[in-house]
Amino acid sequence: MTEHYVTHQGKNIAFTVVRKKVKNVNLRVCPDSTVVISANKKVPYSYIEQLVKDKLPWIIKTMDHFETKRSIKGNRKYITGEIIEYLGSYYPLKVIEVPGREEVIFDSGDFFLFVRDDNDPVLKEQLFAQWYKDQAKALFDRSLERMHPLVAGDGIEKPSITIRTMKTRWGSCSWSRQKITLNTELVKTPPECIDYVLLHELAHFKYHKHDASFYSYLAGLMPDWKERKQSLKSFSANLSLCRG
Ligand SMILES: [Zn+2]
């Protein structure tokens, strides 16, 4: 294992090279923003360095993404200046104390939290949880309007959608009860990821298991499903899709 650097706009980007029995070279950015390259012994260092240089824009973007994620995870207090996640993007929060109605407002790329007591984190958390839930209902309904027509011709009826905060899964389905359950956390991911999870669950009404028929059906309906799945992973590596 060896440490190396490339310089980009006056900043040193460090990366670690691990010689392993891999086919060629694998490059990854870890959640702590370190860059690790596994490379076969036969791959010369000059090739690795060039690869890092070629991939720099992606590496920097990914490092920034993880940095933002880490700052969000560290004890959220819902105070002015904090970053709020919504539909795959990050927006600044402004907290305003008011004597009257308490609510969350999302307006032109800014979040406003109107609250009677700025020092009540539990209440602030509840207001946001309710806001996310309300958005989830509207967003998931719209996604169903987009996705259901893709499968309607295969005799799949429009299911009902239940929203829940789940610790392990993005979604699940019960074909016997014509029901799909989606994780509230999905509202923090881009719309194309919400569509993907919903379509994945809809496809289970035709093919129950994660077998070859299921995936070829899914690919026919949504050719870029793998990219969407990958994108979804970056929002929570702990959540898996569904058991099918
Ligand atoms: Zn599944």
Ligand 1 centroid, distance to 201 Cα (angstroms): 6
User: What does DSSP assign to residue 99?
Assistant: S
**Of 67 and 24, more confident:** 24
Concatenate the DSSP letters of all residues of 126-190 into one string: HHHHHHHHHHHHHHHHHHHHHHHHHHHTTTPPPPEEEEE--SSBSEEEETTTTEEEEEGGGGGS-
**Per-residue burial over 113-125, b = 16 or more CB atoms within 10 Å of its CB, e = otherwise:** bbbeebeeeeebe
- Does 242 fall in a domain? no
**Of 46 and 1, more confident:** 46
For range 82-98, the mean pLDDT: 93
Sorted by sequence, the CB contacts under 8 Å of residue 142 that are 6+ apart come out as: none
**Of 238 and 16, more confident:** 16
**Of 127 and 11, more confident:** 127
Q: Which residues lie near ion ligand 1 (Cβ < 5 Å)?
A: 242, 244
Ligand 1 centroid, distance to 232 Cα (angstroms): 14
Run of H or E residues at 6? strand 2-8
Per-residue pLDDT band for 196 (boundaries 50, 70, 90) equals very high
Residue 73: pLDDT above 80? Answer: no
162 and 175 in a common domain: yes
Ligand 1 centroid, distance to 31 Cα (angstroms): 26
- Does 238 fall in a domain? no
Ligand 1 centroid, distance to 206 Cα (angstroms): 11
209 and 229 in a common domain: yes
Does the CA dihedral 175-181-187-193 come out positive or negative?
negative
| Long-range contacts of the stretch 122-130 (C-beta < 8 A, 24+) | 124/77, 124/78, 124/95, 125/76, 125/78, 127/102, 127/103, 128/78, 128/84, 128/104, 130/104
Torsion of CA 210, 211, 216, 218, to 10 degrees: -10
DSSP helix/strand/coil, 234: coil
Residue 134: pLDDT above 60? Answer: yes
Residue 168: pLDDT above 90? Answer: no
Domain count within the chain: 3
The predicted pLDDT at position 45 comes to 93
pTM summary value: 0.72
Residue 160: pLDDT above 60? Answer: yes
- Does 240 fall in a domain? no
- Does 244 fall in a domain? no
Ligand 1 centroid, distance to 222 Cα (angstroms): 15
148 and 86 in a common domain: no
The predicted pLDDT at position 30 comes to 81
The predicted pLDDT at position 63 comes to 84
Ligand 1 centroid, distance to 184 Cα (angstroms): 17
Residue 208: pLDDT above 80? Answer: yes
Ligand 1 centroid, distance to 27 Cα (angstroms): 28
- Does 111 fall in a domain? yes
Residue 152: pLDDT above 90? Answer: yes
Spatial contact of 79 and 96, defined as CB atoms under 8 Å apart = no
Residue 101: pLDDT above 60? Answer: yes
The predicted pLDDT at position 222 comes to 98
Share of the chain above pLDDT 90, in %: 67
Residue ranges making up the domain that contains 81 = 74-129
Ligand 1 centroid, distance to 7 Cα (angstroms): 43
The 3-class secondary structure across 110-139, one letter per residue, is EEEEEECCCCCHHHHHHHHHHHHHHHHHHH
Ligand 1 centroid, distance to 18 Cα (angstroms): 35
147 and 108 in a common domain: no
Spatial contact of 71 and 83, defined as CB atoms under 8 Å apart = yes
Ligand 1 centroid, distance to 65 Cα (angstroms): 27
169 and 101 in a common domain: no
**Of 4 and 238, more confident:** 4
Ligand 1 centroid, distance to 104 Cα (angstroms): 33
d(CA 206, CA 163): 22
d(CA 84, CA 92): 6
59 and 38 in a common domain: yes
